[in-house]
Structure 1
């Protein structure tokens, strides 16, 4: 007897493109343990059910979406992150304990690097999710950005994590309210857009990320965070929080300009954020040092990187490298927690590499022994050795906790170092072996992160093969394969 085909399929089967038997609990969902729902009938969710500690992944599997009319063809969630509007009353949320599980990691790893919305405020918004779409939208993106920055899983598990991040990001976008004529955006609106940018970039949706970065900047202007006079009317700590939100967007915009060649629009504020006694001392010091890092990427720096470089002088290059080498800065940073040291020091090495590339493109570098080290073609090799000495002193997870941004920086550093080794003349035996050892270390380090697999590693793999062919006499070179 021929099996009858059903005229409807559940949401999970539609997304997975598998045959559904149309039952209230279909066979496919029963088999793989997914939540079985249909777009036309949304079952209510009991708020009494509690989650056991450690059930974040299990709860993520139960998040489902109701497709909007006229939506794009369905594929993976990461390929269909779109902003749609649905009434909050028809969507059930996970049990609050699902979101509470992220609070500790958010407070420990996310907030110190983005010190604007403390965990206590997030906790309060979790309790308001059923009544406020704004609160619900932020809570979902808070969970997504925390997952994005704190999951250093093995490579084979990375796709599942990206899917969960995309799921949470999509739910956040679904609950967003359009900015109406009389709307009053808040600092939460700024950080919601900025966290959306961070997650979008982590999912390699770079255009979407740039859109939400510009949205965050636009909201800052609506709040007059760029105006000293307007800021003076705010009481502490709200004024300091607005300043930190502004600087956070400034940092992300400068990084985006250098990494993805997107034009910046923000200017630096007159000074660092006002002192906020509510901030932990290390958090305030680390954030201020991050600001100082990116303030070195001034308008002239951006002009040379993004546009015409004919005006670059040897004097400018040496002056910028000396600013980046600041020994006093390094001593102060060495007193900070390892997580902050990792971000600050790798960023400094990356900026020095970018500055070297500006000089290279304007033929200001030389291999002559009489040339200043700061203008030497071999300068990145010195940086690679310094970076290796630093990386062996800190736990690996203190680097991975920073997500795709820090991996982009490490990729650029590794890419430049391999080019230098490939094109410089053969050095003495011991010096060549040292170069190879530094490259092998950096290669093994960056390839150990699951997120690195999305950053064009094939380019480096080809260069490693070329280095192996150039130095066949060095036994250790086989470790590059």
Structure 2
């Protein structure tokens, strides 16, 4: 009996991008056998060219670009198209990209665990199921390495490394370099996406942590520019059919509000202008969601920064050039801050730390503007328009530092240290204006002790910052005419019942 004739291999309709580029046979699977064996990303992004003669009618027809679709998919393999979106139908990262072998799944999982436990309550902008989908696109890889860079700069929040894994997280410099390498393969200008916005935000946070202010400012502006390019700051954008994906809508709106808060905080810290206004509705809180309490704390943080709009920032950045002083407006602002945040007990502790310290810092910001306008009184330190108000603010800072565990502050990073530093400098400046023999009668008893505790917090709590410590120690030494003891006993993490009084 004759043996059956060998079957011909079935014809593949389209080869994957890698096999097409290398001119080798592709089995058409997703991923294909060749890419699986090479352990590289398998994509089908290239558009096959039509075959056949190109006659005169073809030559005369103008070349047409695909219509712009603000949220079209860039990775057909990923089933969350709107999250991984670009401004046109063309793929933003078509080039071959090989991930670093240092970025193992174990390292990525380790960093993401730390982010979602400690950083997510502060910046709830990432969707973990999307991040963990494989194969990863180039822009996903860049987002992950940028997030890991922020975590690498906060090693105290990393969980213990499993003994059997025996690995270490790469350095922040390496992770930033990997992010930028991935971005070289993507056209951010023509193809902005939510992923690229998130990546730019994490780059801003990383450069801010290592005191590279120009780079931090650049990437914050880049994130805002891409957000505005995609019109994610406009309410009407979220009513279009292209944005029907509820996952995309949720994280795009959160990204807007995180940038809204970050831009205003950075403008106050570094005397920069702002571009974003509160043009979106506040995020809805689903009481049945696992994120419900985090979202309530997030809304509280938005409410703290919302009053610090264009008018205030303009006065803050150029107090001398502003001739009009609205005393009633500044008083209302201080009164609003004093009576904000009525109930924080159910919020995650990392959010409580951020909210309580940010509120005290914003009080100092308003106090500084009032001082520059010469509208302060000599009333006692509890008066919000008193020259001596920093004594009360600093005392509350010290109390907050004793009521919450240190890790709650460490997760906030260098930003929270800078805020305490600003409060300490304002108190030191105030004490330098009031002779030592009169301090007891004009301010609270123990104000000098409060300053010393503030110095210790800046130097040894919340991760510490020697750069800020040196400046504050110098100010404290000058105004007190004494040396500052830098030792600090361990914090008392109890006394939660006093939290609502701050």
TM-score (norm 1): 0.72
Tell me the secondary structure at the aligned position of residue 200 of structure 2: helix
Flag the 1:163–1:450 CA change in 2: closer, same or farther, 3 A. Answer: farther
The one of 380, 383, 388 equivalent to 2:393 is: 383
Which one of the candidate residues 378, 381, 396 is aligned to 2:406? 396
Distance in 1, Cα, partners of 2:408 & 2:217: 26
Q: Which structure 2 residues correspond to residues 99-178 of structure 1 after superposition, within 5 A?
A: 99-124=108-133, 127-129=134-136, 132-151=137-156, 164-177=171-184
Higher helix share: 1
Structure 2 partner of 1:25:
none
For the 8 Å contact 2:138–2:182, the answer to whether it is kept is yes
Deviation at 1:311, TM superposition (A): 1.6
CA distance in 2, matches of 1:245, 1:458: 35
Partner Cα distance (1:452, 1:405) in 2 = 11
Cα distance in 1 for partners of 2:210, 2:403 equals 30
Where does 1:45-64 land on structure 2 (aligned, <5 Å)? none
- Paired residues, number: 380
Q: For structure 1, which segment, 240-249 or 90-99, has the greater mean C-alpha deviation from structure 2 after superposition?
A: 90-99
Q: What displacement does 1:416 show?
A: 0.5
Secondary structure of the 1:166 match is helix
Which residue pairs with 2:50 in the alignment? none
Aligned partner of 2:450 in structure 1 is 438
2:58 corresponds in structure 1 to: none
| Counterpart for residue 325 of structure 1 | 338
CA–CA separation in structure 1 for the residues paired with 2:379 and 2:461: 38
State which of 361, 364, 372 in structure 2 corresponds to 1:361: 372
**Contact 1:201-1:209 within 8 A present in 2 as well:** yes
Normalising by structure 2, we get a TM-score of 0.69
2:252 is matched with which residue: 242, 254, 259? 242
Match of 1:421 in 2: 431
CA drift of 1:451 comes to 5.6
Contact conserved, 2:391 with 2:444, CA < 8 A, in 1? no
Cα displacement (A) at 1:395? 0.7
- Specify the SS of the correspondent of 2:446: helix
Q: Is the 8 A contact 1:152 1:400 kept in 2?
A: yes
Q: Name whichever of 305-314 and 251-260 sits farther off.
A: 305-314
What is the deviation of 1:468? 3.3
The worse-fitting range, judged by mean Cα deviation, of 137-146 and 303-312 is 303-312
Q: 1:150 to 1:163 in 2, by over 3 A?
A: closer
* Residues 1:358 and 1:348: Cα distance change in structure 2 (over 3 Å): same
RMSD: 3.0
Match of 1:335 in 2: 346
Distance 1:372 1:457, change over 3 A: closer
Tell me if 1:406 matches 2:406: no
Q: Residue 158 of structure 1 corresponds to which residue in structure 2? A: none
Q: Give the drift of 1:121.
A: 2.1
The runs of at least 4 consecutive aligned structure 1 residues that moved more than 4 Å come to 276-279, 429-433, 449-452
- Highest CA radius of gyration, 1 or 2? 2
Alignment of 1:462-477 (within 5 A): 462-469=474-481
Quote the Cα distance in structure 2 between the aligned partners of 1:90 and 1:217.
27
Return the match for 1:283 from 294, 297, 310.
294
Taking a change above 3 Å as real, the CA distance of residues 163 and 432 of structure 1, as seen in their structure-2 partners, is: farther
Specify the alignment match of 2:231 in structure 1: 224
**What is the Cα deviation at residue 432 of structure 1?**
6.5
Alpha-carbon distance between aligned partners in 2 of 1:332 and 1:203, rounded to the nearest angstrom: 34
Deviation at 1:111, TM superposition (A): 1.6
Question: Secondary structure in 1 aligned to 2:418?
Answer: helix
Cα distance between partner residues in 2 of 1:364 and 1:164: 49
Unaligned ranges ≥5, structure 1? 1-45, 48-84, 154-160
Matches of residues 1-40 of structure 1 in structure 2 within 5 Å?
Answer: none
Matched, 1:292 2:299: no
Q: Deviations over 1:256-289 (max 9, x none)?
A: 1101112111111243123456551111111111
User: Does 2:91 align with 1:94?
Assistant: no
Q: Which residue, out of 360, 363, 369, partners 1:352?
A: 363
Whole-angstrom distance in 2 between the partners of 1:229 and 1:354: 34
2: distance between equivalents of 1:354 and 1:176?
Answer: 37
The 5 Å alignment of 1:164-313 reads: 164-177=171-184, 180=187, 183-233=190-240, 234-235=243-244, 236-275=246-285, 278=289, 280-307=291-318, 308-313=321-326
Q: Is the 8 A contact 1:141 1:172 kept in 2?
A: yes
SS at match of 2:153: helix
